[in-house]
Amino acid sequence: MAHRDLYNVLGVSRGASQDDIKKAYRKLALQWHPDRTGNDDEASGRFKEVTYAYKVLSDPTERARYDRLGPLYTPDGRPPRPEDLNDTVSSVVGRWFGRKNEKKGEDLRYTLTLTLEEVAKGSTRRVVVPRKARCSACGGDGAAPQGKALCEICDGTGRTKGLLLRTDCFHCDGKGFTIVEPCGECHGEGRVELEDKIDVNVPGGVATGQKLRVSGKGNAPLGAGAVGDLFVIVNVADHPLFARRGEDLVVEMPTTYAELALGADIDVPTLDGRTTIRVPPGTPPGRIFRLAGRGLPRIGRSGRGDLHLQVVLEVPEQLAADQRDALQSWSSSLAEDAHPRRRSFDEAVRAR
Ligand SMILES: [Zn+2]
Ligand SMILES: [Zn+2]
């Protein structure tokens, strides 16, 4: 179990009189007593904790031993158990390597839906993310402006000479001060929940599933430590005209038989407007016209992909009688070699 300073458990100062200790205990014991809190596990844990703290601190001999030993104190007077020692040593060793008990705040995720046009240009998008930020009123230490007291144990240095090694002060957890009046903004937590407006820089050419990291825009940790990061997950919305293949774009271009047979200039869409392409006479359906450099930006490289325009033949579903006659007579007027592929296909079928 992690060590909690017994004076902190009772909410009294290091120099508290026996009377203060008794009063503090009565109040807390009443608050956490199982008769009042029923079978609540947390409450019964708190009750045991305050009772233990009272047992030690109300006995002058035990209290003196506790003051001397701190986290290594055991009630039976025997040397600390190995697991207690391990806890202490590992936290001390952690501090040597600069880890302290510091934890980074949680990372957050946000899904950002973009249009293909935004992906083509690259853009800055403002997003609103609920996050826990460091409290600006107290700078994150959780104390009101005059609400800090210099730690009596370490005289504000945050360090004490332990039994084994110099280590962080266990009374103030290395902060050098204790909070006598919590910050009114964050109620002592050192962080506040807010709807943060964050400008996310979206590079051109991003694809669905890509993660953009905005560092320091996750949650602030409880206590000291780095603020987490925000990961923006890209989702590119489907487009009614353009399909995406990597950095290339594909557009189906519906055409009429007459346009393909006679040739035509056809207006086609591009991501930033439109252009005209010339379809030569005799163009078959399925042919692809490529507009180089009219696709999406290449990520991590210069240049852009291509725009592919795929010819699709649209056949009328209904014809009036006179149109049918006209088409029929036009068809019979064609020379025998007008459809060479059809002709050899028919020959192959007949030979079977
Ligand atoms: Zn605050
Ligand atoms: Zn201290």
Q: What pLDDT digit, counting tens, does each position of 250-282 carry?
A: 999 999 999 999 999 999 999 889 999 999 999
CA of 294 to the centre of ligand 1 (A): 52
Q: Cα–chain-centroid distance for residue 347?
A: 65
- The CATH number given to 6-80 is 1.10.287.110
Query: In which residue ranges of the chain is CATH 1.10.287.110 found?
Result: 6-80
Which band of pLDDT confidence, cut at 50, 70 and 90, is reported for residue 85?
Answer: low
> In whole angstroms, how far apart are CA 180 and each of 147, 187, 327, 352?
5, 12, 95, 100
CA distance 216 to 228: 5
Query: In which residue ranges of the chain is CATH 2.60.260.20 found?
Result: 243-350
Report the share of the chain in percent with pLDDT over 70.
89
Largest CA distance in the chain: 120
CA distance 33 to 48: 9
CA of 187 to the centre of ligand 1 (A): 6
**Any idea which ligand is nearest the CA of 181?**
1
Which band of pLDDT confidence, cut at 50, 70 and 90, is reported for residue 96?
Answer: very low
CA of 270 to the centre of ligand 2 (A): 67
Q: For 243-350, which CATH superfamily applies?
A: Urease metallochaperone UreE, N-terminal domain (2.60.260.20)
- How many CA within 13 A on the CB side of residue 271? 29
**Does the reported pTM lie above 0.75?**
no
- How many CA within 13 A on the CB side of residue 273? 2
**Neighbouring residues of 34: CB distance < 8 A, sequence distance ≥ 6:** 43, 44, 47
Strand partners, 268: 275
CA of 150 to the centre of ligand 2 (A): 8
CA of 206 to the centre of ligand 2 (A): 50
Instruction: Extract the tokens encoding 330.
Output: 């036009």
**End-to-end Cα, the chain, rounded Å:** 88
Alpha helix ranges (H) inside 242-351: 257-262, 321-332, 340-350
Task: Return the pLDDT at 218.
Answer: 96
pLDDT exceeds cutoff 50 at 342:
yes
CA of 100 to the centre of ligand 2 (A): 14
- For 211-249, how does the pLDDT look when each residue is reduced to its tens digit (9 = 90+)? 999 999 999 998 778 899 999 999 999 999 999 999 999
Do 87 and 3 contact (CB within 8 A), yes or no? yes
